[in-house]
Amino acid sequence: MPRIAGSDIPDRKKIYYSLQYVHGIGPKFAKDILEEAGIDPETRANELAEMDIAKINQIIDNGFLVEGALRRQVQQNISRLREIRSYRGDRHRAGLPTRGQRTKCNARTRKGRKRTVAGKKGIKG
């Protein structure tokens, strides 16, 4: 397996798709990196020469924030929002959606599994 930007990428896939396994590199950045390195996107990752892998690593190191550094920056941004007590920071703190989505009937990804509220049915009045 070739090691690019500190993470292993699948070696049987085309390099265009293999690069997207690196956290922080999507389709656009993968295309830009391969254009700058002068590598055909159709090439399989295991067919790359050591020089090509070194060239890709150098481009990523010089121009992109990936893997641990990107995750660290995202966490710092979230903690900054929490510290300044912004609306988005409060939503992060509460584990609710931060971008204005509705929460009455959806938002299960952020809120987690449903929790049953006890004693609601039995009260008649």
Q: Are residues 26 and 47 in the same domain?
A: yes
Q: Are residues 95 and 57 in the same domain?
A: no
Q: In this structure, what CATH number is given to the domain that contains residue 98?
A: 4.10.910.10
pLDDT digits (tens, 9 = 90+) for 82-103: 999 999 999 999 999 999 999 9
- Do residues 42 and 7 touch, judged by C-beta distance below 8 A? no
97 exposed, middle or buried (CB, 10 Å; 0-12, 13-18, 19+)?
Answer: middle
For residue 30, give both structure tokens: 């993968």
The kind and range of the H/E element at 83 are helix 67-83
Q: Are residues 58 and 77 in the same domain?
A: no
Reported pTM: 0.78
pLDDT digits (tens, 9 = 90+) for 37-75: 999 999 999 999 999 999 999 999 998 999 999 999 999
Domain that holds residue 19: 3-63
Q: Structural domain tally of the chain?
A: 2
